[in-house]
Chains A and B, each alone.
Chain A
Amino acid sequence: MAEAAGNAHVGEETTRRDFIYIAGASVAAVGVAATAWPFIDQMNPAADTRALSTTEVDLTVIEPGQQIKVMWQGKPVFVRHRTPDEITAAVRDDYANLKDPEHDADRIKQEDGQPGRPEWLVLQANCTHLGCIPTFAEGTFHGWFCPCHGSVYDTSGRIRSGPAPKNLYVAPYVFLNDTTIRIG
């Protein structure tokens, strides 16, 4: 009787065969995913690329009023030795009308939270608009000027005018000793 009822509804009732289909397909799906993952993950940064993630900079070569560009993780970073005038201007404008308000003291902080030294400013060198590299000591605020779309940054790397939405990003750095910093 039970068998007759089963035949009347072929394909509608759950059978043990359906379970095997679903279980088989699930195992196959996990297998496909597990096989696919290495082929996807290989595109992520390799160990040697990750190993290059810190850069040390010798500060003795940078005179006051100069900056150098160093490569960190394939991206340029500004290391700027600010003059007393530039520091004064940066601190004074902490309370100016800023698009992305931030105090100069917060922008020179080291990665470990220690206060930085006012004369050393370490910033990621890409304009926060579309990633161009601003030119040094140009523009109304004598900080940086982006030639692409005219963003102007002050001596603390804060956006003062133009299309960029944010201040230049601070690069994570620490002082290893008096004359060396490590970025990253």
Chain B
Amino acid sequence: MSGPSTYEPKSGFTRWLDKRLPILRMAHDSFVAYPTPRNLNYWWTFGAILTLCLIAQIVTGIVLAMHYVPHVNLAFDSVQRFRRDVEFGWLIQPMHAVGASMFFLAVYIHMFRGLYYGSYKAPRELLWILGCIIYVLMVATGFLGYTLVWGQMSFWGATVITNILGAIPLIGPEIQVWIRGGAAIDQPTLNRFFSLHYLLPFVIAGVVGLHVWALHETGQNNPTGVEVKSKADTVPFTPHATVKDLFATALFLILFATFVFFMPDSLGDPANYVPANPLQTPPEIVPEWYLLPFYAILRAFDFNIGPIDSKLAGVLAMFASIGVLFILPWLDTSRVRSMRYRPIAKQFFLIFVIACLALGWCGGQNPGRILAQSGPYRATLNWVEGGNVVQRDFSAPSEQQFDDAAAAMRQTLVGEGAEMTMVSRENATDAHAMAVMGGTHQSRTITAGTGEELEVMVQEAKNEIGLAAPFYSVDRQTPMTFTVTRLSQIMTFYYFLFFLVILPILGLRERPDRVPDTIAKPVTAEGGA
């Protein structure tokens, strides 16, 4: 793509350098003369924005490491001290914390851009896969860094995530102990997380280098998805793309600065401003916003799938949801790259974006929260008023025969004219049966909005009826409910449906829109107009 180099050293020194280390030539060819499609829109500026994010995280991170103490008793305080006492700590710590969120915001836009315009398709498969590797490294780095703060959410988040590894069959528990360096999250864990958190950004930088290399080999995709045909379809990277990237970066920095200066803590969980306490769990354990969709997928599996128990199924689905991105270039069978010319795929893509956002919302909610229900919770109390209570002890010959003996006892009592019977067991074989003889049947129906309210009201009703009834039978009717978990399940289903079914089949069946001749064919002559 790059073509022959057009770099011409101007001074004596650059000529000397060019013979020995053509680094300026490489920079010139990559960032000045590099031909970039002239129809790129602003969605293409996030590469530059992400570069800025990575540099900002590394610079602020190195500064933070100068003041951070990776010790369970000191870590939390050292972060607070940095923020309160160190010169400009109030600025640099939030830059790093907010920067993580901004980094993920930018990377998600960058990824959705690639999805929409088919930037993962041949010949850019490796470019896409390198991007996926960067994303996985970012998730790992983000998780490790969040643990270092050593607040309540750091500690319990790390506990839950390492517990997840324990779900792996056979070797899970060993891996869990190996990662933690002990039976629980403790000093060894914090220490190694610090080491790895310092290491991974440089690994990311290395893979970013490969990502950019691969990009410059294949050339950039563009909104039409049609490869550039001639030099007339491109402009030099500098000044055109450089200035556009700088402008977009400036806008992005306004958002960044708004968070850093006016609401530095708004993206974090309040529970993480409480020091880690292994003896107390925060009321709800949730990850940072950028991992919520995956957390929702993890928790969507509240049922066993054959031999795979629910916990492992959730773990597998969570890893698969990222893993599926790696094989995406071969899942999408469409020969049309950009969804601009794929009228049906475009709509499925929109639903996919909504599903991802919905998963993010679900991940932050209590999974049992009821979003809709078919009716109220209902309970019917039955009791007998005004009868005589008879108590009779009995024993079953063995533990196995207890149920039969109890049924026989009830039958006997009913035969003697009991209106209601009850059996309460003392131990393996002994029990006593109670029966109410005579009296009149009473019943009362209670309705309530939630299950907890119903239990309270049932208890109140029992207190009210009081001694008039020796015992009750309670029939509870639970309405059909639609919970956050159910919504997560539907959205998870669509997430995988999109990649594994819709994209492969739609690519073969969809009739794409016609690409205008002005785009499909070069209309300007080479070097003309």
Is A95 at the interface (CB under 8 A from chain B)?
yes
Q: A163 contacts which chain B residues (CB < 8 A)?
A: 302, 368
**A133 touches which of B160, B279, B284 (Cβ 8 Å):** B279
Produce 1/0 per residue, A52-79, CB < 8 A to B: 0100000000000000010101111000
Q: Bits for A141-156, please: 1 = Cβ < 8 Å to B, else 0.
A: 0000001111000000
Are A95 and B182 closer than 8 Å at their CB atoms? no
A125-173, CB < 8 A from B = 125, 130-133, 140, 147-150, 163
The answer to the question of B283 belonging to the interface, with a C-beta cut-off of 8 Å to chain A, is: yes
**Residue A46, interface by CB 8 Å:** yes
Q: Which chain B residues lie closer than 8 Å to A69 at the CB level?
A: 279
Q: Which residues does chain A contribute within 8 Å of B183, judged by CB atoms?
A: 45, 53, 73-75
Main secondary structure of the interface of B (DSSP, over half): loop
Q: How far is the CA of A49 from the CA of B279 in the complex (A)?
A: 19
A89 to chain B, nearest CB (A): 12
Label chain A's interface by main secondary structure: loop
Q: Which residues of B contact A125 (CB under 8 A)?
A: 279
Contact A130 B163 (CB under 8 A): yes
CB of A94 closer than 8 Å to a CB of B: yes
Tell whether A44 is near chain B: CB-to-CB under 8 Å.
Answer: yes
Interface 9-residue window, one of B132-140, B184-192, B317-325: B184-192
Contact between chains at B278 and A44 (CB < 8 Å)? no
Contacts of B427 in A (CB 8 A): 91, 94-95
CA A96 – CA B426 in complex, angstroms? 10
Q: Would you call B181 and A49 a contact (CB within 8 A)?
A: yes
Interface-centre pick from B163, B184, B283, B366 (highest chain A CB count, 10 A):
B184
| Inter-chain contacts of B185 with A (CB < 8 A) | 74
Q: Provide the A22-44 mask, 1 if CB < 8 A to any CB of B, else 0.
A: 00000000000000000010011
- Cβ contact within 8 Å between B283 and A45: no
CB-CB under 8 A from B184, the residues of chain A are 73-75
**B402 within 8 Å of A (CB atoms):** yes
| Alpha-carbon distance between A159 and B366 when the two chains are bound, in angstroms | 20
For chain A, give the interface size range: 20 to 34
A-B contacts counted at CB < 8 A amount to 76
B98 to chain A, nearest CB (A): 28
A40 proximity list for chain B (CB < 8 A):
178
Q: How far is the CB of B431 from chain A (nearest CB, A)?
A: 9
Measured in the bound complex, the distance between the Cα atoms of B182 and A45 in whole Å is: 5
Complex alpha-carbon distance, A44 and B177, angstroms: 7
A92 lies within 8 A of chain B by Cβ: yes
Q: Which residues of B contact A149 (CB under 8 A)?
A: 366-368
Min C-beta distance of B293 to chain A, whole Å = 18
Q: Known contacts A43-B179, A44-B178, A148-B285; decide if A74 and B186 are in contact (CB<8 Å).
A: yes
Which of chain B's residues 158-199 have a Cβ closer than 8 Å to chain A? Answer: 159-160, 163, 177-179, 181-186, 188, 192
Query: Within the assembled complex, what's the spacing in Å between the Cα atoms of A140 and B452?
Result: 11
A76 to B159, CA, bound (A): 13
Residues of B within 8 A of A (CB): 156, 159-160, 163, 177-179, 181-186, 188, 192, 278-281, 283-285, 302, 366-368, 402, 424-428, 455
Given contacts A49-B181, A125-B279, 15 further A-B contacts (CB under 8 A): A45-B181, A45-B183, A46-B181, A73-B184, A74-B182, A74-B183, A75-B184, A76-B278, A92-B424, A131-B156, A131-B159, A131-B163, A131-B281, A132-B285, A133-B280
Q: Which 8 A-B pairs have CB atoms at the shortest separation, nearest pair first?
A: A74-B184, A73-B183, A132-B281, A74-B186, A75-B184, A95-B425, A133-B281, A49-B182
Q: List 29 A-B contacts (CB under 8 A).
A: A43-B178, A43-B181, A44-B178, A44-B181, A45-B181, A45-B182, A45-B183, A45-B188, A49-B182, A49-B188, A53-B183, A73-B182, A74-B182, A74-B278, A75-B278, A76-B278, A91-B427, A92-B425, A92-B426, A95-B402, A96-B425, A130-B160, A131-B159, A132-B281, A133-B280, A148-B281, A148-B283, A163-B302, A163-B368
